[in-house]
Amino acid sequence: MSAKKQTFEQEIARLEEIVAALEKGDAPLADSLALFEEGTKLIAACSQELDVAEQKVVKLMKGPDGAPVELPFGEEEQG
C-alpha cells in the first residue's frame, strides 16, 4: 500500500475529526486509543511541517551593493 502524503491542511482536518470523535466519547476504548495514537502522530507531523516553514521565512534587506539579501526573519540589519 503506497499511501500518498497528505497536505498540512488535510492533516489538520483529520485531526479535527479525531478530536470531535474523542470528545463525543461514544467510541469503544480500543477505537479511542487508536484515534488518540493517530492524532498524536498527526500532531507531530504538523509540528514538524510548521518548523520547516518557519525556517524558510526570511526577510529581504538591501545589501551594500543595493541588491536584495536574504536574512533569517527577525535578524536586524547591521551597520
CA 37 to chain centre: 17
pLDDT at residue 79, rounded to an integer? 47
Q: Which residues contact 47 (CB under 8 A, 6 or more apart)?
A: none
What does the pLDDT look like over 6-42, one tens digit per residue? 899 999 999 999 999 999 999 999 999 999 999 999 9
SS3 10: helix
- Which pTM was predicted? 0.66
Checking if the pLDDT of 71 tops 50, the result is: yes
DSSP string, 48-73: HHHHHHHHH-EEEEE-TTSSEEEEET
Taking only the tens place, the pLDDT of each residue in 32-67 is: 999 999 999 999 999 999 988 877 766 666 677 877
Residue 35 near residue 21 (C-beta atoms within 8 A): yes
